[in-house]
Chain A
């Protein structure tokens, strides 16, 4: 149980392109999903908290107009990296919590984004 699916797993695109990443909870409902960024050999840095049906909460220093988050249903959240540039290249990982009770976060497989 508690499976989180993330797509795509790998994206290579030109500078200036917008890239959408999807995060789905497959066998549970998730009112809250989280988006992280991870640089090589570094820890997980929380970018934003995505709540179903409301605006995302961004961490300090994260540009909300750059990283658009939509959480339109209890099983899907999307992260769009707008007008991506080489410095946006990174490993992006989502996680989701089960809707009820004090449950841990379960992670997707991550998306490796490379901007040329």
Chain B
């Protein structure tokens, strides 16, 4: 099955700095990679996702890059703000869009606790 590794487990930055979180995956058939933000005691919220037919996607201060050859993808947050503080999870799905796939289930990384200091 799929295995997703996420680093670092904790990340502390100053407000205005950039933050980068990296994930690797093991299943070369994986072709969908979402990122979720989870504040304490709340639901995970989708912040950005990328499919394997693109290498980069950007949405305002958030961007995700994907390197299929190396099987890794990264989340980039620029101009960080205190409200960006949360746990961020990467995930991979091996069968999205493919017939007879995995029923679209996700394998999650262990999470990164991001703290943005004012």
Chain B CB within 8 A of A32 CB:
yes
Whether the Cβ atoms of A97 and B104 lie closer than 8 Å is yes
Knowing A32-B104, A49-B103, A97-B104, the reply to whether A107 touches B45 (Cβ < 8 A) is: yes
Interface-facing stretch out of B60-68, B77-85, B108-116: B108-116
* Closest B residue to A50 using CB positions: B103
Residues of A near B46 (CB, < 8 A) are 104-106
* Closest A residue to B1 using CB positions: A60
Whether the Cβ atoms of A32 and B43 lie closer than 8 Å is no
Whether the Cβ atoms of B97 and A46 lie closer than 8 Å is no
Whether the Cβ atoms of B110 and A109 lie closer than 8 Å is no
Q: Which single member of A49, A102, A107 contacts B44 (CB below 8 Å)?
A: A107
Bound: A28/B18 CA distance, A: 36
B78 to chain A, nearest CB (A): 23
Q: Which single member of A43, A102, A106 contacts B108 (CB below 8 Å)?
A: A43
Residues of B near A108 (CB, < 8 A) are 43
Whether the Cβ atoms of A104 and B34 lie closer than 8 Å is yes
Bound: A105/B49 CA distance, A: 11
**Complex A-B: 13 CB contacts under 8 Å:** A4-B43, A43-B110, A51-B103, A57-B103, A102-B96, A102-B97, A104-B46, A105-B34, A105-B106, A106-B46, A107-B43, A109-B43, A112-B41
> Residues of B at under 8 Å CB distance from A?
32, 34, 36, 41-46, 49, 51, 89, 96-97, 103-111
